[in-house]
Structure 1
């Protein structure tokens, strides 16, 4: 249906008002058009989009958009575009891409739809489709620099390196290029990245020489040159460049590791296990570098990881003694990685015992005439306590930390260490008391406040923990502190609070806390949309590529993996409770009413009723309610196993070396009655740890199901039987 000119002009106003977020005026204009032309599909679709923006009524919005599509007989690019925008808003990106493609089938040269499609394709990393979309955008708008860079980037992400270089060369010929030296420098570095990733290391070196003096990021140039020399086997040149980098940044351990690798030593990381011969050779190399860069603290620390025997003993003394004399708190964390090696632990114990005997007896270090300061004795007590704590001698650690506190009772870190020791001894109340003393010594310290909050949560004191952390969260008016914590994406707090609720039996509230962490990662993914166009306009292509690669591995982060594991366990608990006929919702209400730790929602409601708000305050209250609603995560009680599967799949995809990632998947499919999928995940777990007790237990459950299921397909049964001996 084609609108007359007056209504067509009104329809343009509808789109303009929607883009300016004037939803009420836009809805009013839509209704005026529909009053005269109720079958106009495009207006119906736009009304759906406006309704969604105005009050978030999803069902009504989708109904209106679908009506619009039907009225236009699916031949309107605007209706398809609107349907795509609605799906994109709900993060249903695959469906949105289909809608945009349908819109382009009708209007293939629509720039706005092409831009929206390109954004979603790079968001989903559909690089093959992105190349075609970016090519079309470049054809339609060749005067825009961002279109040239977007097309080159699409080919680079699709690993068409030669084509990406051709596009960049053509861009340099036909366009003026960068507007300033920074943009020119970034463009050159991006071109060099394409050359390097294509495997043309000689070409990369030649191009860097050609651009000498024009690239502003000199560190990146040196790093790339060193990588090229290493890849080409030119070890001496690589070592020379890495030495230049170490002189510029003596504390960068990665440069030192690369130097060691260029020397010909096969050492993947500083903490990797290696033979004594390799360790001796690496230690010699590190000592050689240390003579050239004497001020590097990292070199001295790395030497401790590599050194063995008498060399380690001397290095330990040289490294640790200045820390003790200057009372530097980071000493205890600096030595942490050394406790993986039993031989080094033994030497450390011997050295610390010698120092203790000498300082307590003679008030000086062995082989020194100068008297030790009183603070050295204090730090030695703390060092010995930390050493015993690391070796699981908790009574001994507690004895020495008490000596340190008796010596100087005003040092916060002493109480923090005491709290850790008591926690490992199972004395959670006493542990919190120690940490609380540390917090009260310096109430302006955020770290101490964080520790006190964490220990309260481990005692299941949720309300007190919320009040404690609220001291460091900004609270506009009377908004609850937890919404500010959610805004700050404070994931450790959400994990600990969820664990506290779980221990108290409130599984559903615990699940809501864990699901918040998933929401934070979804928000991070959504935040990419802000950069897709910006980075092309500003020429920050290298940082943009780093962002895209980070997002691809974001779910491997320890906070997400910890939350995913808890979510899967929670959904398994919910499924088992449903099977037993338990009412988990009733438990939530009972827990919140009966325990002092529950959030007293009734008081909050009474407070709101009493408060007479003005118009602006009412609007602010509405926004706070919307925020509280946004953070009230929905737990799937209808299909808990189906809801658990995506989280379990992420665990295997990003953390396949973790046995529970496999066993939790197996538990889901055991309950769903999918024996082949159970077998697949048990075999994956057995590959990581074949003697794991959980794997054996689940294998017994699997084969008990197989033996009792007479209707099982013979082919499936034969596959399962072929692995029985291996798993049992």
Structure 2
């Protein structure tokens, strides 16, 4: 039992709790100190003070005080509850659950403890425990609908659809009368019940149930979508077609409704008879509404030949006459078909000619508006057309955009397009200058502002990019513009910033940005806590289930994958070469006395300059922090490692890499780059079974991937060179699952066969050359010569850059690298990456 308090102190304690709940931490600490002054060992007060200290960012002090509180009163449910909250703040959920359960044992009727325990079990996906907690909450307060729904959710997430449905039905049976039609919670609950029935596999019964709720349900669109889906699954095509028609009457621009209608009408896009029917169907919808885009655009996907030319001519004329800037974006997906790409190019070039000849319109007769496409919209389309990857001719694209700029030199869109063309040339410097020039024509436009920052980062101008972004950030916050970008979770900027620092070999700052992205994803994971109770209170059940399932695959997001691959590769390099942790600083021990003296002076000057800059920054940050303090004195935590030096100096880089690698392998198992880099990490950690797992997973995804070939050879080489042969289950598993290359295979011969198999693929040849170098370092000169010849057959700047990076890995001589740069510069004369 908690220690009793005199009436005055008891009143103060109640006020202390209210202060904590209202986030009035300064007042709360004052009240706690008043109680502890009279009763120094009062565990509950110490626990509440610990909770406030933790909220103020004093984690270590809070944890120490929490332990003291628990020692003073082991039988207090408040002390155990707070101890659990402290563990939860450290993300040690297992210990937090133990503390909650202990608190619940001391106060079995406490709804607060039970609720926190249930939310934590849902957070870590302990659905068995979640069911148990929800059952207890229901038995304690069965009059609340959200407790019934919460238990149904627990069963549903655990895969027990039958029990989840039974719980919801039982509650419905307890209702004395049917809730009014305006009852949003009831409307959502019965629709949620319907989705449970459908997910259990009983689609027929789900449809029957849907028919009973369709009239009174508030989410009419969702009901119709589910009905159409169920009818289609049950192959009741005529009825499904009617429902999809109803949905299209409500929204005729939503493509999935058209897709559903096509399936319901059994129309096959590869069949000529079906194509005629499809054409008539879409014409019907197009004729109903002159502004309908979907009904005019979708037929371009399945029409061919003259029929496509007629439809494309009509579509393009309508859009270009109106001057719709997104016309090219609407049709560029058609470029995957070379015939359609050629027809579109022919048509638009015809529009650009002085006379509307048969080359520009079907049968020499213009379609649509008699005025025809405007000159500017046609030139803009052609500039984008020739800039697009599948129809790229940058010289022509530049010619068309220059004609546009002659007409409107200050047009932001035209200048931005010109910058993009130069980006595709590979000239990042000119692209950044041009888009900054475009930005200055409209300083209030956020879009062009962020595009400009992105181009500047691609040109490795980090400071300029931050200055550009500062035009739209809250610069008075702690940390300035960069701090605000962190607060806003502006991941695209952090990612580009990190990659720019990586290109400049500023590894600490690069790692700092990649870690910031990982932190953001952890925040998103933590944000679930707010919705475990909120969604039930508001009755938004289906949205909650969708959120839970989305969170389960959170880290397969492209931003996380890009950051994780870069960070993991960086940690591998740190493991292979610990000197990289010096972040560009020379190894003084290897220099002669005169050079060492110069280097030391240079380092000393840099350190003094850095100290002064850091002191100025800290002073400015402190001033901002003081200015932005709230009434309780809360301030944002100071970043003790702004340049990522501590991250870079980790003693276990491969262990640190696992923070990025594990989520990728778990949530993006079909990402072959993740599997290949996982192989590298686990091979270096000598985790052979995990190494083999990554290799086999990559091989299943693409057996011809060059990384798979390289890793297979390296794994066999590693096994052949073990100091002691493998024994036991590990040896048996590897012998069974790793058969290619064979144990007695000639690895050099296998690699040469691989090179002959892919004579026209730079990606495969580079990996093959690297394997040849690893197997035989004496082949370095031959590999360098072969790599030099390969530049001419490279199809992109990125491929050529990969070859340049390979030469750096081999530590080739400067003259070899310069010769490679010259050869690449001849093919891409505008690309800045090959300039010295």
Q: TM-score, normalised by structure 1?
A: 0.88
Shift of 1:299: 2.8
Shift of 1:327: 1.6
Shift of 1:608: 6.3
Structure 2 unaligned residues grouped into runs of 5+: 587-601, 743-749, 751-836
Distance 1:374 1:60 in 2: 75
Shift of 1:536: 1.4
Q: Secondary structure at the match of 1:278?
A: coil
Q: Secondary structure at the match of 2:553?
A: helix
Shift of 1:161: 2.8
Alignment check: 8 A CA contact 2:224 2:247 kept: yes
Distance 1:608 1:121 in 2: 39
Shift of 1:437: 2.8
Shift of 1:113: 1.0
Distance 1:591 1:300 in 2: 69
Q: Secondary structure at the match of 1:399?
A: helix
Match of 1:272 in 2: none
Equivalences for 1:150-299 in 2 at 5 Å?
Answer: 150-175=150-175, 180-264=182-266, 278=270, 280=272, 283-294=275-286, 295=289, 296-299=292-295
Shift of 1:100: 1.5
Shift of 1:330: 0.3
Alignment check: 8 A CA contact 1:511 1:567 kept: yes
Q: Closer, same or farther in 2 for the Cα pair 1:458/1:4, shift >3 Å?
A: closer
**Which residue of 325, 328, 334 maps to 1:329?**
325
Q: Closer, same or farther in 2 for the Cα pair 1:70/1:335, shift >3 Å?
A: same
Alignment check: 8 A CA contact 1:150 1:536 kept: yes
Distance 1:574 1:701 in 2: 20
Alignment check: 8 A CA contact 1:260 1:282 kept: no
Distance 1:590 1:630 in 2: 19
Q: Closer, same or farther in 2 for the Cα pair 1:103/1:37, shift >3 Å?
A: same
**For residues 73-128 of structure 1, what are the alpha-carbon distances to aligned partners after superposition, in whole Å with 9 as ceiling and x for unaligned?**
5x543333222101112222233223222333343332211110111122223222
Distance 1:422 1:259 in 2: 44
**For residues 556-601 of structure 1, what are the alpha-carbon distances to aligned partners after superposition, in whole Å with 9 as ceiling and x for unaligned?**
22222222222212222332332x47423959x979969x999954
Alignment check: 8 A CA contact 1:516 1:631 kept: no
Q: Closer, same or farther in 2 for the Cα pair 1:202/1:581, shift >3 Å?
A: closer
Match of 1:583 in 2: 582
Distance 1:707 1:681 in 2: 19
Q: Secondary structure at the match of 1:214?
A: coil
Question: Over aligned residue pairs, what C-alpha RMSD do you find?
Answer: 3.6
Q: Does 1:544 align with 2:544?
A: yes
Match of 2:50 in 1: 48
Distance 2:412 2:485 in 1: 25
Match of 1:347 in 2: 343
Match of 1:725 in 2: 740
Distance 1:437 1:68 in 2: 63
Q: Secondary structure at the match of 2:298?
A: helix
Alignment check: 8 A CA contact 1:134 1:147 kept: yes
Alignment check: 8 A CA contact 2:508 2:643 kept: no
Match of 2:647 in 1: 635
Alignment check: 8 A CA contact 1:506 1:591 kept: no
Alignment check: 8 A CA contact 2:87 2:96 kept: yes
Q: TM-score, normalised by structure 2?
A: 0.77
Q: Does 1:401 align with 2:401?
A: yes
Shift of 1:616: 5.8
**For residues 372-419 of structure 1, what are the alpha-carbon distances to aligned partners after superposition, in whole Å with 9 as ceiling and x for unaligned?**
869722322232222222223222322332233234434322222222
Shift of 1:549: 2.1
Q: Closer, same or farther in 2 for the Cα pair 1:590/1:625, shift >3 Å?
A: farther
Alignment check: 8 A CA contact 1:665 1:678 kept: yes
Match of 2:760 in 1: none
Q: Does 1:314 align with 2:310?
A: yes
Alignment check: 8 A CA contact 2:321 2:372 kept: no
Distance 2:427 2:125 in 1: 50
**For residues 293-340 of structure 1, what are the alpha-carbon distances to aligned partners after superposition, in whole Å with 9 as ceiling and x for unaligned?**
123411322222223333332222222122222221101211222222
Shift of 1:143: 2.4
Q: Secondary structure at the match of 1:59?
A: helix
> How many equivalent residue pairs?
712
